Amino acid sequence: MVDDPSKPLPAVNAMREDWAVVDPLMGGTKAMRAAGTQKLPKWPKEEQEDYDNRLKLSTLLPVYSETVKNMTGRVFAEPIVLGEDIPKPIEAYTENFDRQGNNLQIWSQTFFTVALSHGLCHVLVEYPKTTDAEGNQTIVTKADEQAAGVRPYVVMIRPQQVLGWRSSSTDGKHTLTQFRYMESVEEDEGAFDTKSIDQIRVLEPGKWSVYRKKETTDKKLEWALHDKGVNSLKHIPLSTLYTGRTGYMTAKPPLLELAHLNVKHWQSQSDQDNILHVARVPMLAIIGVEDITWELKVGTASATKLPKDGDMKWVEHTGKSIEAGQSSLTDLEDQMRIAGAKLLQKEKQAVKTATQAEDEAAQELSPLETMAGQLEDVLDQVLQDYAEFTAEGEGGHVQVNGNFDSDFIPETTLPLLLNLATQGKISDETLFSELQRRNVVSQDIDWTEEQARIATQGPAEGPALGTL
């Protein structure tokens, strides 16, 4: 078939090589084991049974997935703030952003997690079909929309779903003219069961089409047109969040080097566990016995007769390779810690306009803070697409307020803060705030209310907050 909608672009195949590294890491130990020899090579001359047992015992230190989770938590340290310029109907949509019960905050966290782990993620603004089987328009007025509960909503398109795209360039600006992706839908089967059907959706400005596999006259399965429709927009309502952009619609995971280190740690940890298993089981060595019919009995109530000059003893591992292996694992963990923290390292960013260049010096932003700003832009575009579908004019803006300070170790900084508070160099309120920043005290506790509680609880048996 020449026009095969399922054929991915070479650029997609190139990105999939990187996703093959991060996908199992995001899936945890179960996914890493399922990857088999792709992530845990089989040793030369290793029996399959021995390999299978080694694989079953291997466990993943989830550095990559935890780093993605922690960095996402920093971006959403504070709730997303809705601007006053957002129309009320669109503001109401944010309470059920995807029509699956997820509000803007929850949906955006998942969206950002995928973008951070894989380098990019897409969001499509959809609108329910408003024509009947004969193609007649069933929704005409806003009253019709409200009566039918019809409204725009978002669909997250994960990078692994994407098959390809086309774009045109005018005055250096890329405009998306076609976008293809794979999706799975469920349909009822019988009285109680359901079946999952793979289909390809093709988006173009003002229209869409869906392809499914169908049997041809010669009993072959080929992708054929299944459904199609139109919408009122003159552009494809798709927005992309890049965290490691390499080109138009292409990216690489910003923490890819951390991913490679995590895979290396998975392999090294497996080796270490295996050698520990061997070292813990001493081997019995028998010297000077050549009679193959000789019977060996081992036990506390058994005696073994050895020939003259024969010897028998337990041979144990010296432990040198164990120490070397553990040292290597420790070094790997230090390297992963450094690689994971790079998103918080400040970078010089050029200011946006000549006026700003005159008024201020170059700003210092961490890559994570820049990503949060890009997330704001994507969400603003989504709201604008909402507005265009509902004829609201402007969609408004949101603000993402995260915590982009460099990592600090509570075990190191807390004693210093407590000492400063004891000496009166910082206030109790500042100390309380710093404890919250380090997640030692819950973010839900308000200082004024806590101060009132302290005043009413009576004399403390131990030192006060500022004298701990």
- Lowest-pLDDT choice from 40-49, 91-100, 118-127, 459-468: 459-468
List of residues 6+ apart from 374 with CB closer than 8 A = 241, 242, 243
What is the pLDDT averaged over residues 136-154? 63
Range with the poorest average pLDDT among 341-345, 440-444, 464-468: 464-468
For 128, 141, 151, 152, 236, the CA distances from 148, given in Å and listed in that order, are: 10, 11, 9, 12, 24
Mean predicted confidence (pLDDT) in 61-78: 90
Least confident of 129-143, 172-186, 280-294: 129-143
pLDDT: which is higher, 146 or 246: 246
pLDDT at residue 43, as a whole number? 85
Beta bridge partners of 157: 122
* pLDDT number for residue 88: 94
Residue 376 · residue 398 · CB < 8 Å: yes
Long-range contacts of 317-323 (CB under 8 A, 24+ apart): 317/275, 317/278, 317/279, 319/279, 321/275, 322/272, 322/275, 322/276, 322/279
Phi, psi of 299 (to 5 degrees): 170, 165
- Does the pLDDT value for residue 91 go beyond 70? yes
| pLDDT above 90 (res 346) | no
Q: Which of 14-18, 267-271, 362-366 has the lowest mean pLDDT?
A: 362-366
Q: Is the pLDDT of residue 319 over 60?
A: no
For the residues 131-146, what does the mean pLDDT come to?
53
Tell me, what's the pLDDT at 3? Answer: 83
SS (H, E, C) 112-142: HHHHHHHCEEEEEEECCCCECCCCCECCCCH
Q: For residue 77, give both structure tokens.
A: 């340290």
Top-confidence residue, 173 or 358 = 173
Q: What is the pLDDT of residues 197-243, one digit of tens each?
A: 999 999 999 999 999 999 888 888 999 999 999 888 999 999 999 99
pLDDT attached to residue 57: 84
At 216 the pLDDT is: 82
Residue type, 382: V
Q: Name the amino acid, one letter, at 372.
A: A
User: What is the reported pLDDT for 327?
Assistant: 63
State the average pLDDT over residues 102-119.
97
Tell me which DSSP letter residue 350 carries: -
Checking if the pLDDT of 99 tops 50, the result is yes
End-to-end CA distance of the chain: 75
DSSP string, 246-290: EETTEE--TTHHHHHHHHHHHHHHHHHHHHHHHHTS-EEEEES--
Q: What residues contact residue 65 under an 8 Å CB cut-off, 6+ apart?
A: 25, 26, 28, 117
Tell me the longest C-alpha to C-alpha distance in the chain. Answer: 105
How much is the pLDDT for 31?
96
∠ Cα 219 13 173 (to 5°): 115
Percent of the chain with pLDDT over 90: 46
Whether 55 shows a pLDDT value over 70: the answer reads yes
Lowest pLDDT segment from 86-100, 110-124, 157-171, 399-413: 399-413
Residues of the chain with pLDDT > 70, as a percent, come to 71
Most confident of 283-287, 352-356, 408-412: 283-287
CA-wise closest residue to 365 among 381, 384, 352: 352
At 444, the pLDDT band (50, 70, 90 cuts) reads confident
Mean pLDDT, the chain, whole residue set: 82
Average pLDDT over residues 28-47: 92
Res. 468 pLDDT band, cuts 50 70 90: very low
pLDDT for 358 equals: 39
Least confident of 13-22, 37-46, 101-110, 273-282: 273-282
Give residue 460's pLDDT: 56
For residue range 235-264, list pLDDT tens digits in order.
999 999 999 999 999 999 999 999 998 898
The confidence score (pLDDT) of residue 266 equals 87
Q: How confident is the model at residue 171 (pLDDT cuts 50, 70, 90)?
A: confident
Question: 33-42, 134-143, 278-287 — which is least confidently predicted?
Answer: 134-143
Residue 275 has pLDDT above 70, yes or no: no
Q: List beta partners, residue 251.
A: 245
pLDDT at site 81:
95
